[in-house]
Amino acid sequence: MNLSVGPVKEIFPYLRVKGAAEAIEFYKAVFGAVEVFRLTESSGRIGHVQLQLGNTVLQVSEEYPEYGLLGPQDGPSGCAFHLHVHNVDELAAMAVAAGATMLRQPSDQFYGERACMIRDPFGHEWILGHVIERVTPDEMQSRLTAVTTY
């Protein structure tokens, strides 16, 4: 393997958002994101914001329709972000109070987490979860097989 081109060294999720300023405030208030820096066009449009979210850098920009860069709007995004948190039920309630939509209520999952899924007010989906038991991959597979055998 040519290490000058791979393997991947880091990954930075980059969200395109209609209403970036409001989305950034949502991520700060609900997820505890910390703004590292912001680049703003002279028109006021947010060109780039870097947020620290746990040990991950989350990048956010306003939509750029003139380049075909759009947020997910009201439909499924085809992607979700899985956040490990301290208390799923509390954070889910906080997110919904801040404008998120509950897609799946918090419940205990076969893979050893209590988890739920929300859609933020800007169309991005988030799985929130916290560990309730340590489960080996073999046990997860056994449990998945049991719940999906029809």
Kindly list the strands in the beta sheet with 101-108, ordered across the sheet, starting from the edge strand earlier in the chain. 80-84, 125-131, 113-119, 101-108
As a whole number, the mean pLDDT across the chain is: 92
Give 76-109 as a DSSP string: --S-EEEEE-S-HHHHHHHHHHTT-EEEEEEEE-
DSSP code at position 115? E
Q: Is the pLDDT of residue 1 over 60?
A: no
C-alpha distance from residue 74 to each of 22, 46, 95, 102, 122 (Å): 16, 21, 17, 14, 8
List pLDDT tens digits, range 43-102.
999 999 999 999 999 999 999 999 988 888 766 677 899 999 999 999 999 999 999 999
pTM listed for this prediction = 0.88
Instruction: Answer for the pair 49, 62: CB distance below 8 angstroms, yes or no.
Output: no
Task: State the burial class of residue 3 (Cβ atoms within 10 Å of its Cβ: 0-12, 13-18, 19+).
Answer: exposed
**Domains, the chain, ordered by start:** 11-66 (3.30.720.120), 72-150 (3.10.180.10)
